[in-house]
Structures are given as C-alpha cells and as structure tokens.
Amino acid sequence: MVLSGIWKKQEGSKPALPQSITVSHSKEIPPRDIQDLCASVGWSRREPELIRRAMANSLAVVSVWDDGILVGMARATGDKVFNATVWDVAVRPSYQRMGIGRLLMEELLCELDAYQIPLVTLYADPGRDGFYRRFGFSVDPSGIRGMFREKQ
C-alpha cells in the first residue's frame, strides 16, 4: 500500500488528495469492496466469486484506498508480452475531481510498462477520451475500429 513515486501533487484549483490516501497493486481486493465501488458509480452488480476470479486473472490491478474505504480502482488484462487492455477505471463519486483517476492510470501504466508491453488499449466511454489522451492514448489510429460483441 505505497505510492510508486510517479504521482505528483495536482496543479491548479483541484483539491489536493487527502494524506490518508494509499495505493495498492494487490489483486486480492475483497469482492464486497468492489461491489460497493461499482454500485457507487452505477455499474451493475457482479457476483463475489466472479469478481475474485476476474481479479486473479487480470494482468494488473490498482486500487486506491482512504482509511480502509476503496475509493478507486483500475485493472488490465493481457498477454504480459505484446498487449494489454485497461478495464474498469472507477472512482467513487465523492472522491472524483481530486486526481485519483490520474493516479490510478499512472500506477497501472507504470506496472504495464515494467513488462515492456508495446501496445496498451482501452475503450473510452463517450466524452472520456480527453482524459485518456493525457496518458498517450489516441482514438482509432490508422482507421482501426474498436468492436464489441455483448451477450445478455
């Protein structure tokens, strides 16, 4: 539960992160905490055992905590060699606009870069691409298009 040292204090008018904020790269997050976080941002409920397995099978998981409360998370899947895909970037609403999303992305990309993965991808919700551009992501380079197949 330590900062990796790449995070810098937010500039401008945003409130500073509370001193009590800690970061973890452990995949073993209690599913109940993840359920609470997901509910806070309006995501559908997922079963605890499925959450546990998905975290264990992820390539990297970053979580941000404030005094025992999970206030943000992000994770990535991938082959640990050629590519990774970022999923589930979430910050509890009462902790948004403090730089926690940026902290999550910096910590996650730092871990992926340690594997020297050349390609990191993600799917940005509408209007969120500006946030990810800050970390070097671009939309549909060379005409490549993200496609989805969802089963109910």
Residues designated catalytic: 132
Nearer to its own copies, 1 or 139 (CB): 139
Is residue 70 close enough to count as binding its own copies by CB under 8 A? no
Q: What are phi and psi of 31, to 5 degrees?
A: -55, -35
- Characterize the bridge pairing of strands 60-66 and 83-91: unpaired
Is residue 129 close enough to count as binding its own copies by CB under 8 A? yes
Taking CB under 8 A as the criterion, the residue among 35, 40, 58, 96 binding its own copies is: 58
- Measured CA to CA, the distance from residue 60 to residue 26 in angstroms comes to 8
Taking CB under 8 A as the criterion, the residue among 1, 16, 50, 114 binding its own copies is: 50
Nearer to its own copies, 69 or 124 (CB): 124
- Measured CA to CA, the distance from residue 116 to residue 47 in angstroms comes to 33
Nearer to its own copies, 14 or 133 (CB): 133
Is residue 90 close enough to count as binding its own copies by CB under 8 A? no
Quote the least distance from Cβ 13 to its own copies, whole Å: 27
For residues 52-68, b (16+ Cβ closer than 10 Å) or e, as one string?
A: bebbeebbbbbbbbbee
Number of amino acids touching its own copies (CB under 8 A): 50
